[in-house]
Amino acid sequence: MIKDDFTNCESDIRLDGKVALVTGATSGTGLEIAKNLSKRGAKVIIASRNPVKLDNAKEEIIRASGNINVVTRQMDFESLTSVRSFVSETVQTEPKLDILINNIGAIGLDDKLTADNLQLMMQVNYFGSFLLTFLLFPLLKRSAPSRVVNVSSLALILGQIDFDSWNKVGKYSNFGVYCNAKLADVLFTVEMDRRVRGFGVNIYSMDPGLGKSEFFRHFRNEPLKNALNAALLKFGRPLHRVATMAAYLSIDPKVEGDSGKHFRDCEEFYSSWFANDTVLRSRLWKESKKLVKITAEEDWEI
């Protein structure tokens, strides 16, 4: 009998009356996370830039869960203006936010700068989530106890943070940028936990492993893309099981005292020695705020 890596993730905790936001929830792991939370009775907000995919995902979530309390809202991580507009609408329409799951991630995107003068892969995989979480913190704080789950990757162990070049085009390979972004996700998790401890907002990072998905769909090299996606679909972890890990971190009382930690298969997992570098983490936080242009009105740290 093959051992299920996610046995420790199981929980029958209900989320009736709770509000959860899941990014990247129109397909893959994000969609399965949204289904999981919806089945527990939560109101689930799913965010994506594609309205057709949002509508299709909403129908699938309702079908799977029997819960009609699913909200779609457009947001494009390639635009910081879009993230800010999303937050503004969310804050105006939602009196509370109990769970934020930063699931969105992509590889194979073009090596170019966005209109925000940020490297595209870094913006989609890190800066967008940083900005979203920073701007939503006041709502999360008002909703405490609340939780944030940042989906990272084992690729982070190959990442590096060089503040002089992390946004440069042509500096890193596509995979290299992805590694750097996923390392930044974990450092941001640890640093935010340090800065918000005591406010009732817990924040975790997790390594989902390789799931059964077409994660490499953005690759331009067709033979390579097809081969990698075929391997994932054949050997990857079932996405509905991977989703139980995000759900576990967002609801289970057993990890209440583990904010700031990194998990895999619902157990604490090594991330990187960089996570213990307080100087690096603090600078990453400050540089991130600067690059996403946090204003005085937005800055709850002032």
Query: Does the pTM of the predicted model rise above 0.85?
Result: yes
Q: What per-residue confidence (pLDDT) applies to 216?
A: 64
252-261 long-range contacts, CB within 8 A, separation 24+ = 252/11, 252/13, 255/202, 255/204, 256/202, 258/202, 258/204, 259/193, 259/197, 259/202, 259/203, 259/204, 260/189, 260/190, 260/193, 260/194, 260/197, 260/203, 260/204, 261/204, 261/205
Q: What is the pLDDT of residues 70-91, one digit of tens each?
A: 999 999 999 999 999 999 999 9
pLDDT at 123: 98
Q: Which of 74, 86, 80 is nearest to 49 (CA)?
A: 74
Model confidence band, residue 57 (pLDDT cutoffs 50, 70, 90): very high
pLDDT at 224: 73
For the stretch 152-177, pLDDT in tens is: 999 999 999 999 999 999 999 999 99
Is cis: bond before 51, omega within 30 of 0? Answer: no
pLDDT surpasses 60 at 2:
no
Average pLDDT of the residues of the chain: 93
Looking at the annotation, which residues are catalytic?
178
Average confidence (pLDDT) over 166-189: 95
Would you state the pLDDT for residue 231?
77
pLDDT at 212 over 90: no
Q: Average pLDDT for residues 95-124, to the nearest whole number?
A: 95
- What's the confidence (pLDDT) of residue 232? 75
